[in-house]
Structure 1
C-alpha cells in the first residue's frame, strides 16, 4: 500500500516514510541523495526534529523544489515546550527547513512543562498556518488519555513510538488506543537501531524465506509486517539511496496470513511492559 489516511488530518500519507535521526552531517551529500531517491520512489513522509543536529538542514536541501510533494514532520523537545517556547522552536525549525509550514509538529516525549501549555502552543501555530496538524511522540496510553482530555477528540494527529520486530509491546495497548481514537501510529527505528535479525539466526532465516517468496529483501518484509495494521506507518532512516529504494519496495509486499502468523510466532510481542519502551 502506497498511502493511507493519517489519523484525523484528512490527508493521505505514504505508509513507508523516511526518518532522519542520526543522519551524518559529514556525509550530507549521501544523505541528501538518499532522501531524494526516497521521495522519487514515493517515500514522501519525512520525519525530523530540532534535536537531530544537522538533520533539518539536510532535509531542506533534499526537498528543495519538492516541498509540495512532501508530508513534512518535525518535533519540539520537551524543554522548549512552553506555549511561547513551542512558537520559538517551530520558527527555528521552519527557518532550518526553508519552508513556511509543517504538515505535522510533535512533542518529542512527555516532559515537565504542563501539557496544556504545549497543546495551546500547537493550536496557536495551527491557527496561524505555521503547522497543519500536531501530534505526540513516545506517549503511552496514560499520556495519550491526558492529551485527549486537554485537546478534545480528533486533534492528536499521530503518536510516534518505537516499533520493530523485536519490540512489539505497543501492540498490547498503544496501537488499539490509537485505532479507537483516530490517531495515526508512526513506528520509528523499524530495523531495531542495529538489532536487525542476523541472516544466520532463526529469525533471519524466516525473513529470508519470506523475502525470497516475494522477490524482495528481509528489510522490506519487516516493513510490510510493521505496517500491516490499518493506521500504522513506519519511518526507516538510511543514508544510502539504494536502501531507500529497497525500503520503498515494501509497499508492494502483500504478506499472506500464513506469513504474518509465522513472523508473529518468530518475533512474539511478549508481555505488556510496565513503561513504554523508547530510544
Structure 2
C-alpha cells in the first residue's frame, strides 16, 4: 500500500479527507496554535479540534498564521471540530456553531462531529448539523464515540448519512464490531488516542516490530492504522514528534505483522459512556471552555 502525507480517502459524500492529521486534545490555546503551525509547516493538511477541548481559538489563530507562513489557502487544510455536549439540541447547536466559526476564524469547517451522543438530544443535534451541511457551512458531518446502539438509532432518523465515526482505536482497543458496521455502511472509522497510551507503546510485540523495521513503536502503530484504512490524528505538542508521526511512509508492514498487531486487541477503553454526566459522571469530568490561558 503506497501512501504519503498527501494521501486522502473519499468520504461517502464525495469529499476528500487526509488519512493522517494532527489532534490537539489537552492542548491550551497557545500550545494548540504553535502545534498547528508546526504541523502545517511539516506537510500536515488536516487538523482536529473541538469546543470541549477549550482550544478552538488557538487552532484558529494557528491556522491563520500557518496558512500565511506557508503560502497556503484555507481550502488546502481539512478542519474538523465538534458539537459541545452542553450545546446539543437543534437551536442550541445552530447558535453555538456561529461562535465556533468565529473562534476558528473561518467561514466553514470541513467536518463537524457530534462529540458524544447525549441521550435524548443527539438526533435533534444531527438535524441541526444537516441544516448546516445543506447551507454549506460544513462540508461533511459525522459522529464521535457512537456505539452500535446509538449509531444504528441515528441512522434510522438521519436524512444525511454520517461520513465517519471517531472512536478510541489503537492496538489494544480495536472496536471490531463498530468498524465492521462502519465498513458495511461506507462510514469511515477515525482514531482518537491512536497510540493507545503506554499499553500499546510498551507492548513487547510492537517493540520487536519497531526493532525489525528500525522505527519507533509509535511509528509502527500509526503505520498499522493507516494500513487498516483508519483515519488517524495523533496529538503532539513537540515539533520533533509531529515530524516523527508523519515519518511512516518509507516502510510497509507485512500482512503477517498487521495480523500480529490485530491479535493484540483486549477491548481496553480508556474512557466511555459511564464517565459522563448523562450517566451520573462518576469520573467527575468537566467540559472545557474556550479562553486564552494567561
Shorter-chain TM range is 0.7 to 0.9
Find the residue that maps to 1:63 and give its secondary structure: helix
1:166 is the counterpart of 2:172: yes
Matched-pair contact (CA < 8 Å) for 1:31–1:240: no
Q: Structure 2 stretches of 5 or more lacking a match?
A: 277-294
The alignment status of 1:85 with 2:92, answered yes or no, reads yes
| 1:108-119 alignment, distance < 5 Å | 108-119=115-126
Evaluate the alpha carbon distance shift between residue 259 and residue 223 of structure 1 in structure 2; reply closer, same or farther with a 3 A threshold.
same
**What is the deviation of 1:113?**
3.7
Task: Output the CA distance in 2 between the equivalents of 1:229 and 1:264.
Answer: 9
Measured in 1, the distance between the counterparts of 2:275 and 2:80 equals 19
Partner of 1:268: 265
- CA contact under 8 A between 2:22 and 2:39: conserved in structure 1? yes
Counterpart of 1:186 (choices 186, 190, 194) is 190
2:201 is aligned, of 191, 197, 203, to 197
TM-aligned CA deviation for residue 268 of structure 1: 3.0
Aligned CA distance change for structure 1 residues 75 and 250 (closer, same or farther; 3 Å) = same
Please identify, of 187-196 and 215-224, the stretch whose mean Cα deviation from structure 2 is larger. Answer: 187-196
Alpha-carbon offset, residue 119 of structure 1: 1.7
- Deviations along 1:128-182, one digit per CA (max 9) or x if unpaired, are 2211111111001111111111114x621110111122222x12x1001111111
SS in 2 for 1:129: coil
User: Structure 1 residue aligned with 2:142, among 131, 135, 145?
Assistant: 135
TM-score by length of 1: 0.85
Q: Report if aligned partners of 1:79, 1:113 keep a CA contact under 8 Å in 2.
A: no
Aligned length: 263
Cα distance in 1, alignment partners of residues 53 and 84 from structure 2: 10
- 1:16 and 2:20 matched: yes
CA distance change for structure 1 residues 129 and 12 in 2, over 3 Å: closer, same or farther? closer
The answer to whether the 8 A contact 2:12-2:163 is kept is yes
Deviation per CA, 1:178-199, whole angstroms, max 9, x where unpaired?
Answer: 111111111101122454533x
- Paired residue secondary structure (2:227): coil
1:224-276 deviations in whole A, cap 9, x for unaligned?
1123223x2111111011101111112444110121233234x234599xx87
Q: TM-score, normalised by structure 2?
A: 0.81
| Contact residue 51 and residue 77 of structure 1 kept, 8 A | yes
Pairwise CA distance, 1:78: 2.9
**Structure 1: runs of 5 or more not aligned:** none
Q: Relative to structure 1, is the Cα distance of residues 177 and 263 closer, same or farther in structure 2, using a 3 angstrom cutoff?
A: same
Whether contact under 8 Å (2:15, 2:140) holds in the other structure is no
Q: 1:276 to 1:263 in 2, by over 3 A?
A: farther
Distance 1:271 1:163, change over 3 A: closer
Q: Cα offset for 1:5?
A: 2.0
Partner of 1:223 in structure 2?
222
